[in-house]
Structure 1
Amino acid sequence: MKKVMFIGRTGTGKTTLTQALNNEKIEYKKTQSLEFSDFIIDTPGEYIENKAYYNALIVTSADADIIALLQDATTEQSIFPPGFGSIFAKPVIGIVTKVNKVSDENELEKSKEFLKTATCEKIFLVDSLENKGIEELREFLK
């Protein structure tokens, strides 16, 4: 599998998605530091929420094959500046999380637009708790 690095604000579902992709029991756990598993680098939300940590994201990205920017479908704004993905010398994908928590297609479209503006090449729609989109993402990472 290609190694992917997850970047997203606190509460976006990075760790829950990591657990789902690793076929682990889903349980809440706040990521306090960079966490490495076989094919996933899970970053704390504070790394994108505080620009002082951008350098840590860039340096850590050297260990990844793909960068994934995560956008919570229930959030009304994006944490990613326009063109953010272009700071990485790797392919950048977008993942909209918690898609089963929204009933309005416009909310999903807004989340996808945020990720396109951040320069994501491909966008996946997932819900880790409902196992929606997990297999498609797993296949992409093979």
Structure 2
Amino acid sequence: MNTKPQAAAKSAPLSLDSQLCFALYSTNLAMNKLYRRLLGKLELTYPQYLAMLVLWERDGLTVSELGQRLFLDSATLTPLLKRLQAMELIARTRGKEDERQVLVTLTPKGRALKAKAASVPSAVLCASACTPAQLAATKQQLEALRDSLLKNG
């Protein structure tokens, strides 16, 4: 079997296999599939899970602080927060000092969900077939790439 045409295609600048964006995209699809399975047990979508992670770290953030942390604008974040509120996992209230600000706080049900979610990171580690050090290095490289793209894009 002749593999020279495949090798040439892989090195061509406009081949699919040479695109960083496709490697990131297809990895993201695989990651989302894994998370969809894991988070189904928690009745959360992946974006909802990310919002809950931020609130489990630091409860009582404003919508804009939460959006900055997740790299989401308010038009994307507001419907997500409305769904979490309908699920009784969070409460949204106007700020006392500045009524333009909306504070997002966990409800008791939202705080209790943290314990149920505790197994998700280890399940992702197991599915990755990587060591914690390998995943930490990959995460660091991806964050540096993201920061460069945001700065220069």
Is the TM value for this pair above 0.5? no
Q: RCO higher in 1 or 2 (8 Å CA, sep ≥ 6)? A: 1
- Identify the structure with the greater helix proportion: 2
TM-score (norm: length of structure 2): 0.27
Q: Which structure has greater strand proportion?
A: 1
Kindly name which structure, 1 or 2, has the bigger radius of gyration based on alpha carbons: 2
